[in-house]
């Protein structure tokens, strides 16, 4: 991800979405069951990895990682 100030501009959310599509930088990675298990394992004590670090590692947002860890996303089949 480029953070060169010469490559940045003020834009709307829609403009940014269009730019991601145009430049091919849209993240569309889907998480596998193995990824979810790894997120839950790494996001638990005693050596908990932060939601931010897990998000970077798996290509999703911090909020999504938090929802996975807290069971708001990817509930076990028996929990549905």
Q: For the residues 61-74, what does the mean pLDDT come to?
A: 83
CA atoms within 13 A on the CB side of 35: 16
- pLDDT tens digits, 18-63: 777 676 666 655 788 899 999 999 988 788 999 999 988 888 888 8
> C-alpha angle 27/44/32, rounded to 5°?
35
Domain boundaries, the chain: 31-80
Q: Is pLDDT above 50 for 72?
A: yes
DSSP per-residue string spanning 50-68: PHHHHHHHHTS-HHHHHHH
The two three-digit tokens of residue 40, written as one number:
């839950």
């Amino acid at each position: 991800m480029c953070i060169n100030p010469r490559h940045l501009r003020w834009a709307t959310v829609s403009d940014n979405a269009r730019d991601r599509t145009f430049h091919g930088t849209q993240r569309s990675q889907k998480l596998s069951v193995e990824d979810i298990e790894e997120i839950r394992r790494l996001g638990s004590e005693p050596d908990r990895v932060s939601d931010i670090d897990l998000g970077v590692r798996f290509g999703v947002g911090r909020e999504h990682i938090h929802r996975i860890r807290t069971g708001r996303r990817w509930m076990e089949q028996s929990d549905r």
